[in-house]
Amino acid sequence: MLKPNRHYQDLTENYLFSEIARRVAAFKEANPAARVISMGIGDVTLPLCPAVTDAMGKAVAEMGDPATFQGYPPAVGYDFLKSAIARYYAERGIPVTERDVFVSDGAKSDTGNITDLFDNDNVVLIPDPVYPVYLDSNVMLGRTVRLIDATEENGYLPLPDERTEGDIIYLCSPNNPTGAVYTREGLKAWVDFALKNGSVILFDAAYEAFVRDPALPRSIYEIEGARACAIEFCSFSKTAGFTGTRCGYTIVPAELEAGGMNLSRMWLRRQSTKYNGTAYIVQRGAAAVFSPEGHAQTRANLRYYLDNARLIMAFLDKKGIPYTGGECSPYIWLKCPDGCTSWEFFDRLLNTAAVVGTPGSGFGRNGEGRFRLTSFGSREGTLEALDRLDALL
Amino acid sequence: MLKPNRHYQDLTENYLFSEIARRVAAFKEANPAARVISMGIGDVTLPLCPAVTDAMGKAVAEMGDPATFQGYPPAVGYDFLKSAIARYYAERGIPVTERDVFVSDGAKSDTGNITDLFDNDNVVLIPDPVYPVYLDSNVMLGRTVRLIDATEENGYLPLPDERTEGDIIYLCSPNNPTGAVYTREGLKAWVDFALKNGSVILFDAAYEAFVRDPALPRSIYEIEGARACAIEFCSFSKTAGFTGTRCGYTIVPAELEAGGMNLSRMWLRRQSTKYNGTAYIVQRGAAAVFSPEGHAQTRANLRYYLDNARLIMAFLDKKGIPYTGGECSPYIWLKCPDGCTSWEFFDRLLNTAAVVGTPGSGFGRNGEGRFRLTSFGSREGTLEALDRLDALL
């Protein structure tokens, strides 16, 4: 008799986005003339840049020609992409080489699947509020999860102290949903903790390209000792608008070990067995992001989003509403005015300004009374939303 | 202190393909003038058909245009592809609807990741010889694996008997590596067994498109009762040459349950949490396989491979060498002549005819003394290889 994985019963249904959709639909039905503006989405809106579409168009043609057709890809990436990624680190003086790079279909898959490498008898430490995938992929395995508080007091950047326990530590910087970015000193505190306790840090760097301040780290490997305790997840989704094109990469340092087992070889074995490589066409598109044209074009798109963020920040500053993020992140995490709960503020924005954001309580207990706005909209939509909020707040 | 997943230590390194590569390299170095012909690869060689490259070229252009740009895809497939897949079943009168279809990046990922849905305390039943992924993805979880003998006596199509035990049963038909195809009666015996014992059948139908004989089943859902006990894995890799383009689909019937839990909802949750959907461009290419042009063009490619297979079969018939497969499969599984072991026969073909095949012993204990040839080469290469073997055998 087949026994299902009963840990799936311990998952809490996250109704956040379906509940948002339900309330927006009800509002639209009651107000058919209203033009709703979304500042809630975490998805990009600018199209792929020409360098990327040119490279993918060429790759499509290659796939139709017997002389250049590509069959099974290497399980963890073509050399042309792995070497481009390694150069992206080397140019910044960060100690990552081609051997450490594992290409995949995205950071979400990798942050979920990396759990395969660890025994279920580990303590998992996750900040609250949090991107839900970290929590859910561990609950599915029945693991012990401890939450560490990310709050206004610590700037949504918790640090370890003498009571902290965690064998597997998830960190996301720039953070989703709070937009907060760890300093080098902050990350060093975590690396030191991990080295002392034999923990592994799973570092989600999906938003690293938004970091404009050279004083702030974009990779955990900027911190001494991180190669001995950290795995880093990166993505082309936000850097280059690949949310619908699906490509990411994970850095597992070649020498990284746990309990005498080499985690790099284990990840290679995991991906060779349960993954079959990323599409040739997609990898050609990803490699074009590192070309001079691709770099310039994708950076222009990032500036567009960051300029939206600056408009939102200037508005919140004017209104005296506290927030984190926006400076080096597409996310702005604000404190709901007038002591509103997250959902009260959501309804207020929707019903009086036809503006949609994301209630912070959907990201964890410390998100109550907070609200996430994103800079991924159009310039016009962002400006009009702020005009409407100006009248309201 | 982080504890790694020690079950990875129980994996046996499969040196099959690296050992083949090593011996071929040594042969080439000793015989620089020899033209080696591979009949060992399981990868396709014909390029993507024009219907597919046209659709993907159009999708690339859409991704570069703000009016048609696509962000995050649905986690388990766009409706345009799911409905095309559902029609592909409906046209054959097979009870599969759009709700049952889960699009992914390939059958290898899905056959590996589906293990997430089951408790580790299940007995896994796997035929020997076997595609190594089934075994390895369960060994990684420390599960109890029983092998069931696929032998010359049962035509490499084992059936359950009163001693058979298995909560999770892997079946692959047409089979890799043996090319054997279950009859409806054979599959019915397994479905009846699964229904009686509360087991689930994981049915790998990656090679279904090679089945030409209408008397043979191409889907397990052709068998009554299968919707209550089976999950089916399909792929565009061999059907449409997508080995380097990466798209597949898994059928989990909407009502399929185990221990009171709905496996369809569990798979949706698994894929929504640990996967983020298949690239828009790739799904547009996959959908084009179901267009009239795409269907005609991909079928022409399948005929090309099956014609290669017929040439190999005619040759083996002439030589009186017993084999399975070839008729409805790209694989031909032959009995090594003169009582050779698999590797002895490999060396004989390589050293005297410069022809490369795959030793059957690499697929399991019942593969010893057997050898796999594939029909994925070019017509010219296949003909020349058979000429050389004619002189040798």
A297 in any annotated domain? yes
B336 and B206 in one domain? no
Give pLDDT, residue A12: 85
Q: B-chain residues within 8 Å CB-CB of A5? A: 116-119, 266
- Asked if B26 reaches chain A (Cβ–Cβ under 8 Å), the answer is no
**Residue of A1, A139, A7 whose CA lies nearest to B259:** A1
Q: B-chain residues within 8 Å CB-CB of A60? A: 53, 56-57, 60, 281
pLDDT over 80 at A182, yes or no: yes
Residue of A nearest to B134 (CA): A273
A2 in any annotated domain? no
pLDDT digits 0-9 by tens, A31-54: 999 999 999 878 999 999 999 999
Q: Which strands form B370-374's sheet, in the order they lie side by side?
A: B323-325, B331-335, B370-374, B358-359
Residue A18 binned pLDDT confidence (cut-offs 50, 70, 90): confident
- Asked if A262 reaches chain B (Cβ–Cβ under 8 Å), the answer is no
Cβ separation of B119 and A5 shorter than 8 Å? yes
Q: A-chain residues within 8 Å CB-CB of B57? A: 57, 60-61
Q: B-chain residues within 8 Å CB-CB of A4? A: 117-119, 258-259, 261, 263, 266
* A:B CB pairs within 8 Å: 246
Q: Mapping DSSP to helix (H, G, I), strand (E, B) and coil, where does residue B87 land?
A: helix
B278 and B171 in one domain? yes
CA distance B389 to B386: 5
CA distance A313 to A318: 8
Question: To the nearest whole angstrom, how far is the Cα of B43 from the nearest Cα of chain A?
Answer: 6
Cβ separation of A261 and B66 shorter than 8 Å? no
pLDDT over 80 at A15, yes or no: no
Give pLDDT, residue A16: 86
Residue of B nearest to A48 (CA): B64
User: Tokens 């960051």, residue?
Assistant: A306
Give pLDDT, residue B16: 86
B74 in any annotated domain? yes
Neighbours of A17 (CB within 10 A): 13
Q: A-chain residues within 8 Å CB-CB of B199? A: 1-2
Q: Which amino acid is at B131?
A: Y
Span A306-317, average pLDDT: 98
CA distance A303 to A239: 11
B134 and B24 in one domain? no
Domain boundary among B273, B290, B307: B290
pLDDT over 80 at A317, yes or no: yes
B6 in any annotated domain? no
B312 and B222 in one domain? no
pLDDT digits 0-9 by tens, B284-310: 999 999 999 999 999 999 999 999 999
Q: B-chain residues within 8 Å CB-CB of A121? A: 3
B353 and B286 in one domain? no
- Asked if B261 reaches chain A (Cβ–Cβ under 8 Å), the answer is yes
Structural domains counted in chain A: 2
- Asked if B144 reaches chain A (Cβ–Cβ under 8 Å), the answer is no
Domain boundary among A290, A308, A328: A290
Give pLDDT, residue B132: 87
pTM of the model: 0.97
- Asked if A136 reaches chain B (Cβ–Cβ under 8 Å), the answer is yes
A281 in any annotated domain? yes
The beta-carbon neighbor of B2 closest among A52, A168, A274 is A168
Interface mutation vs chain B, best among A204, A243, A274, most B CBs within 10 Å = A274
Q: B-chain residues within 8 Å CB-CB of A167? A: 1-3
The beta-carbon neighbor of A119 closest among B5, B121, B266 is B5
- Asked if A377 reaches chain B (Cβ–Cβ under 8 Å), the answer is no
* Residue numbers of the domain that contains A207: 50-290
Q: A-chain residues within 8 Å CB-CB of B204? A: none
Give pLDDT, residue B15: 75
- Asked if A58 reaches chain B (Cβ–Cβ under 8 Å), the answer is no
C-alpha A180: how far from its chain's center?
12
The DSSP annotation for B40-53 comes to: ---S--SPPPHHHH
pLDDT digits 0-9 by tens, B101-142: 999 999 999 999 999 999 999 999 999 998 888 999 999 999
Give the number of residues written for chain A: 393
B50 in any annotated domain? no
Residue of A nearest to B65 (CA): A47
Give the CATH number of the domain where residue A146 resides.
Answer: 3.40.640.10
Which parts of chain B sit beneath pLDDT 70?
Answer: none
Give pLDDT, residue B279: 98
A285 in any annotated domain? yes
Cβ separation of B167 and A273 shorter than 8 Å? no
Give pLDDT, residue A334: 98
Q: A-chain residues within 8 Å CB-CB of B137? A: 273-274
Span A347-368, average pLDDT: 96
pLDDT digits 0-9 by tens, A224-276: 999 999 999 999 999 999 999 999 999 999 999 999 999 999 999 999 999 99
Domain boundary among A290, A325, A359: A290
CA distance A95 to A226: 10
A100 and A190 in one domain? yes
The beta-carbon neighbor of B200 closest among A2, A50, A69 is A2
User: Do residues B200 and B263 touch, judged by C-beta distance below 8 A?
Assistant: yes
- Asked if B244 reaches chain A (Cβ–Cβ under 8 Å), the answer is yes
Q: Which amino acid is at B361?
A: S
Q: What is the 3-state secondary structure (H, E, C) of B323-383?
A: EEECCCCCEEEEECHHHCCHHHHHHHHHHHHCEECEEHHHHCHHHCCEEEEECCCCHHHHH
Return residues 148-187 of A near B (CB < 8 Å): 167-168
B48 in any annotated domain? no
Per 3-state DSSP, chain A is made up of helix, strand and coil in percentages (nearest 5) of: 45, 15, 40
A74 and A167 in one domain? yes
Q: What is the 3-state secondary structure (H, E, C) of B227-295?
A: HHCEEEEEECHHHHCCCCCCCEEEECCCCCEECCEEHHHHHHHHHHHHCCCCCHHHHHHHHHCCCHHHH
A314 and A277 in one domain? no
- Asked if B65 reaches chain A (Cβ–Cβ under 8 Å), the answer is yes
Cβ separation of A140 and B1 shorter than 8 Å? no
The beta-carbon neighbor of A71 closest among B60, B244, B277 is B244
B38 and B85 in one domain? no
Cβ separation of A168 and B73 shorter than 8 Å? no
Retrieve residue B227's tokens.
């919707």
Cβ separation of A244 and B69 shorter than 8 Å? yes
B298 and B285 in one domain? no
Give the CATH number of the domain where residue A28 resides.
Answer: 3.90.1150.10
Q: A-chain residues within 8 Å CB-CB of B49? A: 64
A72 and A190 in one domain? yes
Residue A17 binned pLDDT confidence (cut-offs 50, 70, 90): confident
Interface mutation vs chain A, best among B44, B58, B60, B141, most A CBs within 10 Å = B60
B26 and B171 in one domain? no
- Asked if B193 reaches chain A (Cβ–Cβ under 8 Å), the answer is no
Q: A-chain residues within 8 Å CB-CB of B55? A: none
Residue of A nearest to B8 (CA): A266
Alpha helices in A41-146 (DSSP H): 50-63, 79-90, 107-113, 132-139
pLDDT over 90 at A191, yes or no: yes
